[in-house]
Amino acid sequence: MSSRADRIRIALSERFAPLSLEVMDDSHRHAGHAGARPEGETHYTVILVSPQFQGMNRVARSRAVHEALATEFANGLHALALTLRAPDELG
Amino acid sequence: MKPWGSPEQAGVGALPPNFSERPGDMTEPPVFDRIRTLVSGHDVVLFMKGDRHMPRCGFSNTVVQVLDVTGVDFVDVDVLADDEIREGIKAFTDWPTIPQLYVKGEFVGGCDIVREMYQTGELRDLLAQKGVPHAA
């Protein structure tokens, strides 16, 4: 069975055709907190650079990512730390 | 959980929930009125886990610190103390996570967005633009 990190990578790659994409599982850092599950896979950091973010404000970018990961949110994904950039915003 | 997409509610879930201005809209959860009263009754409202003095989540804590440093008065709403608000605010904002910051009734963002806007100065600009008092 694939990990949630793998599924997040696939879903975001298909949706955003990213120039770069990092997905990190931070669940171990939140063990015991509200929303954490014994089996982990609850807290992630995503750094995503995509031309599709051009012209979208911050809230719209995050909403697009949430939407792409709706299935994961419905199945125990609890927190996403998002850094979402268009290519000309790097640095 | 009954999905929003049942026939009598078709399409409603696709709209931003706070978009609807229809009074007495029967498809809307009652908690939306409570939330609307909160976010329209105060300049700055933070829906968070725990309260400003004892945040119970690192993301909520970050936003409290940003607001404190920015010197802006805000109302904190502890979603852990109110299950109806806890679930209701996610649907109201169409945003799956807590914390959530509202300024003058408008959703600004969660932890990442608020932190970035603080770092770039956009948060102060927004407060100034909306006439919300804060430290210079």
All structural domains of chain B with their residue ranges? 26-130
Residue of A nearest to B107 (CA): A59
When pLDDT is averaged across residues B62-80 and rounded to a whole number, the result is 97
> What pTM does this model have?
0.84
Of B49, B94, B110, Cβ closest to residue A34: B49
When pLDDT is averaged across residues A56-60 and rounded to a whole number, the result is 97
When pLDDT is averaged across residues A36-61 and rounded to a whole number, the result is 93
Q: Confidence class of residue B1 from pLDDT cuts 50, 70 and 90?
A: very low
Residue of A nearest to B3 (CA): A74
Contact A62 B117 (CB under 8 A): no
Among B9-13, B40-44, B128-132, the minimum mean pLDDT is found in B9-13
When pLDDT is averaged across residues B24-47 and rounded to a whole number, the result is 91
What is the pLDDT at residue B17?
52
When pLDDT is averaged across residues B60-83 and rounded to a whole number, the result is 97
When pLDDT is averaged across residues B53-76 and rounded to a whole number, the result is 96
What is the pLDDT at residue A21?
98
DSSP 3-state assignment of B124? helix
What is the pLDDT at residue B5?
38
Residue of B nearest to A58 (CA): B113
What is the pLDDT at residue B26?
64
When pLDDT is averaged across residues A22-27 and rounded to a whole number, the result is 94
Minimal C-alpha gap between B109 and chain A (Å): 6
Establish if B91 touches chain A: CB-CB under 8 angstroms: no
Task: Check which CATH number belongs to the domain holding A42 and give it.
Answer: 3.30.300.90
Q: Are B96 and B90 in contact (CB under 8 A)?
A: yes
Fold of B26-130: Glutaredoxin (3.40.30)
Share of chain A above pLDDT 90, in %: 79
- CA nearest A48: which of A80, A26, A4? A80
CA-CA distance, A23 to B130, in Å (whole number)?
36
Residues with Cβ within 8 Å of residue A67, at least 6 apart in sequence = none
Is the per-residue pLDDT at B14 higher than 60? Answer: no
Of B49, B109, B111, Cβ closest to residue A59: B109
Q: What is each CA distance from A66 to A46, B7, B29, B66, B97, in whole angstroms?
A: 11, 25, 22, 24, 10
CA-CA distance, B32 to B122, in Å (whole number)?
28
Number of domains chain A contains: 1
Establish if B117 touches chain A: CB-CB under 8 angstroms: yes
Q: Are B127 and B134 in contact (CB under 8 A)?
A: yes
Q: Are B134 and B104 in contact (CB under 8 A)?
A: no
CA B101 centroid distance within chain: 4
When pLDDT is averaged across residues A50-60 and rounded to a whole number, the result is 97
Higher pLDDT, B55 or B18: B55
Q: Confidence class of residue A34 from pLDDT cuts 50, 70 and 90?
A: low
What is the pLDDT at residue A29?
80
Which domain does A21 fall in, by range?
Answer: 4-89
When pLDDT is averaged across residues A2-20 and rounded to a whole number, the result is 97
Question: Any idea which residue has 């078709």 for tokens?
Answer: B10
What's the mean pLDDT when you consider all of chain A?
Answer: 92
When pLDDT is averaged across residues B46-70 and rounded to a whole number, the result is 96
